[in-house]
Amino acid sequence: MATWAEAGVVTAADLLAGDEDPRPGAGSLIERSVATLNAAGVTARPKVRGDVGYFAKDIAQAAVEAGCDFSLGVTRNPAVWRAAAAIPDDAWRKAERMKGAQVAVCDYAPAGWPPATMTVVRRVKVHATDISADPRARRRRTIPKAQLTLALDGLVGHVYAYSFIATNLDVSTPAKTVAVEAWHRMRTDIEDRIRDAKHGAALRHLPSGSRAANTVWMWGALLAVNLSAWLQELAGLDDGDGRGRNHLGTLRHRLITVPARLVRHARQVTLRLPPRQQLLAQVLARLRRLPIWT
């Protein structure tokens, strides 16, 4: 699924089986999402971001062809490890809003990717005592093997865990590199939208063995997520970057399933709310001030 990040709105989605590779359909998601943004009157150049599961030159190319920039996670491979090892010590800069993290650009461009593709590297200091002894631990895969061996043998006090991002965004200065990496990290907001659809709009309760029926159910759940985002934007609960947005369950409890009663007196109708229940009153007052009411 793809979302308009700032608005919290689902722009395109496909229902796949659990063992289906989502990458072949990613280009279509981008195309449909851009069409939605155009219909909404968005004039800024869109930026597509995705995690390492979408590391594919075809997706990067589809983004460029759709008039977008891209920022996609990179699979850890020998070439990118070598490029990261060659980064000078004085090239690293402190990352934004992430303790112990540093950011730099390395000399690695995946083969066949669009021109001007660069790779941003983030490394995070990890104390040797914090490394799991379980060989299946995800953190161990982010540490170069030589460093991991030294740490497990007790020969060094700390090592670095690495993540990589392929992008055609401007990373020509350290400040721009730090900003791009911090923005890319916000891609996890989509996980919150998926979680909200599953737990707040019953997406996890697909009703049928038929993909067609389940697709209808999926869009019903995603429409509920979008209605929630629109309502919160209109009501002033969301400041435009998703930081103030409530989950559907919370919104339902605080705003929709509120006990109240209509009181008619002197030819006026008053909605009487419970004591100390303020959110619904605030929302109604804001909605009345919107131009649609005049």
Predicted pLDDT at 288: 81
**Percent share of the chain, pLDDT over 90:** 72
| Two structure tokens written together for 128 | 């040797």
Predicted pLDDT at 92: 97
pLDDT-derived band at 252 (thresholds 50, 70, 90) equals: confident
Angstrom distance (rounded) from CA 28 to CA 16? 14
**C-alpha torsion sign, points 205, 244, 260, 274:** positive
What is the DSSP-derived secondary structure letter of residue 247? P
DSSP 160-200: EEEEEEEE-S--SSHHHHHHHHHHHHGGGHHHHHHHHHHHH
| Two structure tokens written together for 278 | 């303020």
pLDDT tens digits for range 152-177: 999 999 999 999 999 999 999 999 99
pLDDT tens digits for range 75-134: 999 999 999 999 999 999 999 999 999 999 998 999 999 999 999 999 999 999 999 989
Predicted pLDDT at 176: 97
DSSP 207-228: --S-HHHHHHHHHHHHHHHHHH
* CB neighbour list of residue 96: distance below 8 Å, 6 or more residues apart: 178, 179, 181, 182
